[in-house]
Amino acid sequence: MRTNRLNDLTPKEWIKFQKSWFVHNPPPREKGVLVHPAKFPEDLIQQFIEFFTKSGQLVLDPMAGTGSTLIAALQSGRRATGIELSQKYAQIARQRLERLQLPPGSEGEGPQWMLYNADARDIGTLGITEVDYCITSPPYWDMLRRAGFETQKKRQDAENLDMYYSDDERDLGNEEDYERFVSELCDIYRAVAALLREGAYMTVIVKNVKKGGKLYPLAWDLGKRVGEFLALKDERIWCQDNQRLAPYGMFNAWVSNTMHHYCLNFRKT
């Protein structure tokens, strides 16, 4: 048997993850995190964490939201560090982490998780130690603020659900200029890259966006620009097949119902 230097998976589990696309329909969210307008599904993140790390290693999410990445890491027997700009979401994340039941034998020496209520741009000043893996998803530009965005109607009809992340001027989800948004996002990922150990991976889950009748290739732009300082190794396509179709452009023009995300996998080499 060859030594598995990357993870703790069996050969069968390893090869199953190598499929370049997968279907994952997130389960219903728990009540306490519904307020967040774009939450990560923990079971999806856990699959990536268990492929790209070994037990006990440190996982980072610089835009932690309500703590999905940290919870998935702890449930996998890893340690976790997150950064979240919003005080409200950071508080929800802490409450979820504090009541989380860790798997038997996962309690090691020192703290198992750390969450900073801070701007991800300041990541280099927080004293975070060397990281074994980063998995994260950025705001999809300012799409949550776009009038008529498909998720808005449902949330508008519900009570106390955020329509967008925040009104904080530091929030990248409020940046209207696309080029500035991509540039600032890449600066954050460059700072993350400085914390990654040699050979470690970073996964960015993102999709291209449409605005004003134009496609902005956010996923492809990030693949190219982050690829200037981390090696872009490949992608996995996350497909969802349980969303309702809308008749965009019917009888007039081709407009897709976008039901996939790009999971871009970079490596520090």
What global pTM score does this model have?
A: 0.89
Task: Please report whether residue 93 resides in a domain.
Answer: yes
Task: Please report whether residue 167 resides in a domain.
Answer: yes
Indicate the burial class of 50 (C-beta count within 10 angstroms; 0-12, 13-18, 19 or more): buried
pLDDT at residue 24, rounded to an integer: 92
Q: Measure the CA angle with vertex 205, ends 249 and 23; round to 5°.
A: 70
**Looking at residue 200, which CATH number applies to its domain?**
3.40.50.150
Task: Please report whether residue 131 resides in a domain.
Answer: yes
> Token pair for residue 157?
């009809």
- Per the structure, the count of domains in the chain is 1
Task: Please report whether residue 12 resides in a domain.
Answer: no
> Token pair for residue 94?
């802490």
> Token pair for residue 246?
């809308």
Strand partners, 114: 81
pLDDT at residue 168, rounded to an integer: 73
Task: Please report whether residue 11 resides in a domain.
Answer: no
pLDDT at residue 7, rounded to an integer: 97
Residue ranges making up the domain that contains 90: 29-267
Q: What is the mean pLDDT of the segment spanning 93-100?
A: 90
Q: What is the pLDDT of residues 170-201, one digit of tens each?
A: 888 888 899 999 999 999 999 999 999 999 99
pLDDT at residue 172, rounded to an integer: 83
Task: Please report whether residue 22 resides in a domain.
Answer: no
